[in-house]
């Protein structure tokens, strides 16, 4: 697996990104309590490696 700098050293695999998402949801409860179906899709794209954390958060802020 090639290193992808978009995700940092501790979020290179889908399992690691899922863990990062869970940790962030614990730290920022709004990421879990105010989630829409569109947000869930973006979370899934982050975990799959399609979006970086920054890209995902920016996309969430653009949603209506």
Q: What is the number of domains present in the chain?
A: 1
Residue 1 falls inside a structural domain: no
Residue 51 has pLDDT above 70, yes or no: yes
**pLDDT value for 38:** 93
CA distance 24 to 10: 13
Whole domain around residue 55: which residue ranges? 14-62
Q: Which two tokens stand for residue 21?
A: 């998402």
Q: How confident is the model at residue 9 (pLDDT cuts 50, 70, 90)?
A: confident
pLDDT at 64 over 90: no
Rounded to a whole number of angstroms, the distance between the first and last alpha carbons of the chain is 36
Is 80 exceeded by the pLDDT of residue 63?
A: no
pLDDT of residue 14: 96
Residue 33 counted as domain residue? yes
Q: How confident is the model at residue 4 (pLDDT cuts 50, 70, 90)?
A: confident
């Amino acid at each position: 697996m090639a290193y992808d700098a978009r995700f940092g050293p501790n979020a290179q695999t889908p399992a690691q990104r899922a863990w990062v998402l869970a940790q962030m949801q614990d730290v920022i409860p709004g990421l879990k309590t105010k989630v829409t179906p569109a947000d869930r899709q973006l979370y899934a794209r982050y975990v799959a490696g399609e979006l970086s954390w920054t890209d995902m958060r920016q996309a969430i802020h653009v949603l209506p």
